[in-house]
């Protein structure tokens, strides 16, 4: 599966952004999808994940309550809606996909090594 992330940009603190991750080659209904981010000099950080059906979501502690992840199977696209953005949210954001072979894939949803496919990053810069 090929992933194409978009939607990043410059936004003021307190503002909102919606990131998109369009997939081609395979239907996302067979994949756990996630967003990670990486700021300069920092480790890759789990942001959010959504189950194969789109019915179950999970979030990293640093974004909980401010982000929503959604999967549109018809459009084969995953979205990350971010609100009340802070300067600490400044990073490159990456979407990732993991083929759902068994329940262990979901249990490892926060681990970047769980994901086989990655899109290119989209940069988010939050100005204070």
In order along its 128 residues, the chain shows pLDDT tens digits of 999 999 999 999 999 999 999 999 999 999 999 999 999 999 999 999 999 999 999 999 999 999 999 999 999 999 999 999 999 999 999 999 999 989 999 999 999 999 999 999 999 999 98
Does residue 40 contact residue 107 with C-beta atoms inside 8 Å?
no
Sign of CA dihedral 112, 121, 44, 46: negative
DSSP-assigned letter for residue 75: T
* Alpha helices in 8-126, H assignment, sequence order: 103-107
* Spatial separation of the C-alpha atoms in residues 124 and 115, rounded to whole Å: 22
């Amino acid at each position: 599966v090929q992933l194409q992330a978009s939607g990043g940009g410059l936004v003021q603190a307190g503002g909102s952004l919606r990131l998109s991750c369009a997939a081609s080659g395979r239907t996302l209904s067979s994949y756990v999808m996630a967003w990670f981010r990486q700021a300069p000099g920092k480790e890759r950080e789990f942001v959010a994940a959504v189950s194969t059906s789109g019915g179950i979501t999970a979030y990293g502690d640093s974004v909980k309550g401010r982000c929503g992840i959604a999967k549109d199977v018809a459009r084969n696209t995953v979205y990350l809606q971010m609100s009340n953005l802070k300067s600490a949210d400044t990073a490159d954001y990456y979407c990732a996909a993991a083929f759902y072979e068994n329940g262990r894939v979901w249990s490892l949803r926060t681990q970047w090594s769980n994901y086989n496919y990655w899109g290119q990053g989209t940069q988010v810069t939050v100005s204070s």
